[in-house]
Amino acid sequence: MPVVTKNLIIINILLFFGGIVAAKYGINLDQYLGLHFFLADDFNLAQLFTYMFMHGGFTHIFFNMFALFMFGRILEQVWGPRRFLFYYIVCGVGAGLIQELVQYIHYSMELSAYDSVNIGGMIMPMAQYLNLMITVGASGAIYAILLAFGMLFPNQSLFIFPLPMPIKAKYFVIGYAALELFLGISNNASDNVAHFAHLGGMLFGFILIMYWRKKGNNNNGTYSY
């Protein structure tokens, strides 16, 4: 397995189990390493990097790391470790920025006029409520990896459960993006999944790949794929 892909998986797994151990001692690592809403008291810039190494449960980390193993190692072999790591981190940070923007829109439209929020019959001060808006997970970077695979290998056939037949990578990526957009709009965050962060990772990935391709064309193919 390529070195960056391997180490990213190791770091994610170590922090996942570290969070379980810390919880036994009354420490919630998500409070420190998860991405808080930027207007919350507990927000700091480092969380834009650390949040992508935290996960909300076994299923969450399993599928993210499985996708990283399946597709990330191929991209790293094509791009090399430095470019792949740069792509992964930038897209993860980009996903976090989009999530912050979506949360700010939600705050401006529905919350900013109030000093408190009614949660299950309990009145919570707004400052305390904002600290509960935490995002964790590598999904934004993972979705960017899926996008990159679809752009670099558009006609590669993929066998995706439970589809009865293989599907080309480009259609898989387009379908996934459309699904995330639909869920992001229709669910209004009721499923506790940061759908727009996923799309944000794909957006930043698309911009990076198009920039590299343009730069490669301007340099007579120096940056080839």
Q: Which two tokens stand for residue 64?
A: 């993210």
Alpha helices in the chain (DSSP H): 3-24, 29-33, 47-50, 58-67, 73-79, 81-106, 126-130, 139-152, 169-187, 195-218
Predicted local distance difference test score (pLDDT) of residue 159: 80
Predicted local distance difference test score (pLDDT) of residue 223: 36
Q: What radius of gyration do the chain's Cα atoms show? A: 19
Helix (H, G, I), strand (E, B) or coil at 217: helix
- Predicted TM-score (pTM) of the model is 0.90
Alpha-carbon span 43 to 41, nearest angstrom: 6
Residues ≥6 apart with Cβ < 8 Å to 74: 149, 153
Per-residue pLDDT of the chain (225 residues), as tens digits, is 899 999 999 999 999 999 999 999 999 999 999 999 999 999 999 999 999 999 999 999 999 999 999 999 999 999 999 999 999 999 999 999 999 999 999 899 888 888 988 887 789 999 999 999 999 999 999 999 999 999 999 898 888 767 778 888 888 888 888 888 888 877 655 567 788 899 999 999 999 999 999 987 654 433 333
Predicted local distance difference test score (pLDDT) of residue 142: 95
Alpha-carbon span 11 to 88, nearest angstrom: 14
